[in-house]
Amino acid sequence: MGYDELCVFYSIVGINAKKTSDNLEIKMKNDKYLGRGIHKEQFLDSLTSGKLKPMLEIINKDKDLDVQIRNNYLNIYYDGGNIAKVSSANSVLFNKNYFYTDMKNNPAKDINRETKDILSGKRNELICKFKEGNFKEYFDDAKKIMNIWFAANPKPERKEQHQLSIENQYNKSDYTIIDLEYQVSMESKFYCTFVPEGKSKPKKPRFDIIAVDKAGKLCVIELKSGTGALGNTSGLKEHYECYKCSIGRNPEPFKSEMENLLSQKQDFGLIDDRLKILSTEPEFMFVYSYDESDKKAQFNKFMDEYNVIGENIHVIWLQDKSWKLLDK
């Protein structure tokens, strides 16, 4: 049975009904969308008791690796870069461009055919190790390749997000991160797009971090780092409006999705079994990380944007040399 689409309009605070109807589209979906998680039984069995169980055991002992569950696949991250996309015991992807370090001068789209073939060959040699079950050798070799690539193409924001995920664990912080880079699916019951005020391009809601605090409350967190993250194309108010017209509009299916995600991560040994989601509704929050420039100026600039929102939203200010999310 196919699904019916119904477009309705939702009023955003501070925007009148006519502008909202022009700027916001909400699509209601059916019950078939299962959300993030491993829903294929054979793949799930391989992770809990089959060929991929040793892979998870290696990852759980390696503080440099971080696993995020998507819709029927795993993304395994190293320093914020995707070191393996795993869709089954015999399906793993590794970006061949990690073997190519001249991205700044010669982007991937401009690489010639001969070079592409060489990169693909190197990637295939690496992937063979994974498919043969040599997981430690695969990760060790892939890390070396990615280290060289990151040296030439640094990604500080991804690395920061990666560190947050690793260091905010049950009983080691006030928050436990259970998901990163949460993109609201077009199939979810809280899907929407809208055109932000003064812009022409539709925006699909995406949130940096999903966490659970000590009281069991789900938290949807937007991470901002340094002065470059303030006053850019995605302001603080815009992020909050994205939350209100998506997850905030219909939080129950989001909570159910995150409960299933958390349960699977616990089954895989990735998160402590004692963590529970107890809240009926999530909370939207900001986390701010200072860069090396003047902190007072950064704080003032952040607050200038924050005050435009007109609502009291919790902000966590990361301390120097610490990635832990702590409530003061």
pLDDT in tens, 230-265: 765 568 999 999 999 999 999 999 999 999 999 999
b/e per residue 288-316 (b: at least 16 CB within 10 A): bbbeeeeeeebeeebeebbeebeeebeeb
pLDDT tens for residues 122-164?
999 999 999 999 999 999 999 999 999 999 999 888 888 899 9
Per-residue pLDDT, 193: 84
Per-residue pLDDT, 202: 84
- The whole-angstrom separation of Cα 32 and Cα 24 is 24
| SS3 at position 26 | strand
With residue 91 as reference, give the H or E element that holds it: strand 91-93
Neighbours of 231 (CB within 10 A): 12
In the predicted model, residues of the chain with pLDDT beneath 50 are: 1-22
Per-residue pLDDT, 29: 54
- The whole-angstrom separation of Cα 236 and Cα 309 is 7
- The whole-angstrom separation of Cα 256 and Cα 84 is 27
Per-residue pLDDT, 18: 39
Cα angle 69, 71, 73; round to 5: 60
Nearest to 251 by CA among 211, 210, 277, 282: 282
Q: Whose structure tokens read 């280290």?
A: 147
**Which long-range contacts link 213-217 to residues 24+ away (Cβ below 8 Å)?**
213/174, 213/175, 213/327, 214/174, 214/175, 215/278, 215/279, 216/276, 216/277, 216/278, 216/279, 217/277, 217/278, 217/279, 217/282, 217/283
Q: Are 241 and 19 in contact (CB under 8 A)?
A: no
- The whole-angstrom separation of Cα 293 and Cα 176 is 29
Amino acid (one-letter) located at 312: N
Nearest to 104 by CA among 145, 155, 143: 155
